[in-house]
Amino acid sequence: MVDIENFELAPMPRIVYGSGAISDLSAYAKELGVQALLVTGRGSLRRSGRLDEIVDSLQATNFRVTVFEGVEPEPTLSTVERGRQVLRENQCDLVITIGGGSVMDVGKAIAGLANEPGSVAQHHCGRPLSAAALPIIAAPTTSGTGSEVTPVLVLTDPDRGIKASIRDDRLVAKIALLDPELTLTLPPRPTADAGLDAFTQALEAYTSIGANFITDTWALEAIARIGSSLRQAYHQGDDLTARENMSLGSVLAGMALASAGLGLVHGLAHPIGYAYQLPHGQACAILLPYVIKFNIEVSQARYATAARVLGISKNSGDAEAAEALHRWVSELCDELEASASLSELGATEDDFDSIIAAAMKSGSAKHNPRPVTEGNLRELLREML
Ligand SMILES: [Fe+2]
């Protein structure tokens, strides 16, 4: 048997998976509270009729529900502050969050900071959490961030001009309710953006210096499922099998990254996404082929394994297989219309100092397999211009 190095896994929610699983929401909610704040986005859940169905099913069991809707993509601190106010006014004891990654993150932040005396901004600046969080049920309607299973959330502060994460074990949902049917009506663009984020997270968790025996198995399975299904989910959104694979792949990637950490794509995706107003998944997709090249000298064997898992390089050596992975990722990003140079985004070299400063501070860059320095980061950004 192979020796396994010591490892530790981050806490995880109870995970409920299945097409149609959302119909059991009220039973799970009743285990955790009596009055929920239901957090959702800008209308797709309401337009589909799902929101009314969900609220009706909760109220039918005498559960009280306050809806907090309108969470924007790349959400800001003020949205969380408003949600926390609504939660307090209505004395909610549970947060149910149903939507994409932004909605997951806002729901987790409202529940996590519900009993904190400080402002959301103070915690975004690094003040540790001290009070107990409210329980969270997280039901994703996209297959992307995996936020439903992680202790991490990402918020933007327009006043300070930064996008940064808050991480605390108290932010882990009690229940992650994964129903792939909720993703069937997601349009192609957000399907691609979420899926490219999930693929990047799987690959970065696999090559992270924090990876372990368990996260490797999750990450490789995520790479295989997302790799086999993202194109189909993008071109043929109502294909339930493709959506199921994406749902499983994204949650496995989330489980892997919660313990393994990520890498340089995620270290750069926040400052670049904020500077050029890109959805997170597009920022990841633009960066990923360059970061694979950047890391290839130290991660060749792992990239080769990923290529073999994807079925794109069965009988070749590591060097050739790692190159094949790089080509495959570049072609995928092109096909999903998520490739661009930094100059196409409006970047110039003058922007680099602030991007480098933000990336060097990020935990993700510290988990990158090739050590990141200001010098090699500047070289990488020049290549991307
Ligand atoms: Fe991500």
Write the pLDDT tens digit of every residue in 308-356: 999 998 788 999 999 999 999 999 999 999 999 999 999 999 999 999 9
3 token code pair: 């020796």
- What residues in the chain have per-residue pLDDT under 50? none
CA 266 to centroid of ligand 1, rounded, Å: 6
CA 269 to centroid of ligand 1, rounded, Å: 8
CA 130 to centroid of ligand 1, rounded, Å: 26
DSSP string, 192-259: HHHHHHHHHHHHHHHHSTT--HHHHHHHHHHHHHHHHHHHHHHH-TT-HHHHHHHHHHHHHHHHHHHH
CA 133 to centroid of ligand 1, rounded, Å: 24
Give the type of residue at 175: I
Specify the DSSP class assigned to residue 72: P
Give the type of residue at 241: T
In angstroms, rounded to a whole number, what is the distance separating the alpha carbons of residues 158 and 345?
20
CA 197 to centroid of ligand 1, rounded, Å: 5
CA 187 to centroid of ligand 1, rounded, Å: 19
CA 189 to centroid of ligand 1, rounded, Å: 16
Q: Where are the domains of the chain?
A: 14-182, 186-384
CA 200 to centroid of ligand 1, rounded, Å: 7
Tell me which long-range contacts 369-374 makes (C-beta under 8 A, separation of at least 24).
369/207, 369/208, 369/209, 369/263, 369/295, 369/298, 369/299, 369/302, 370/264, 370/294, 370/295, 370/297, 370/298, 370/299, 372/264, 372/267
Return the pLDDT at 1. 66
CB 161 within 8 A of CB 113: no
CA 103 to centroid of ligand 1, rounded, Å: 14
Hey, how many other C-beta atoms are within 10 angstroms of the C-beta on 31?
Answer: 12
Q: Has this prediction a pTM greater than 0.85? A: yes
In angstroms, rounded to a whole number, what is the distance separating the alpha carbons of residues 378 and 169?
34
CATH numeric code, 14-182: 3.40.50.1970
CA 157 to centroid of ligand 1, rounded, Å: 18
CA 97 to centroid of ligand 1, rounded, Å: 19
Q: Which helix (H) or strand (E) holds 10?
A: none
Hey, how many other C-beta atoms are within 10 angstroms of the C-beta on 297?
Answer: 10
User: Three-class SS string for 332-348?
Assistant: HHHHCCCCCCCHHHCCC
CA 280 to centroid of ligand 1, rounded, Å: 7
The tens digit of pLDDT for each residue in 113-158 reads 999 999 999 999 999 999 999 999 999 999 999 999 999 999 999 9
Strand partners, 39: 68, 97
Fold (CATH) for 186-384 = Dehydroquinate synthase-like, alpha domain (1.20.1090)
CA 243 to centroid of ligand 1, rounded, Å: 19
Return the pLDDT at 315. 82
CA 319 to centroid of ligand 1, rounded, Å: 27
Return the pLDDT at 101. 95
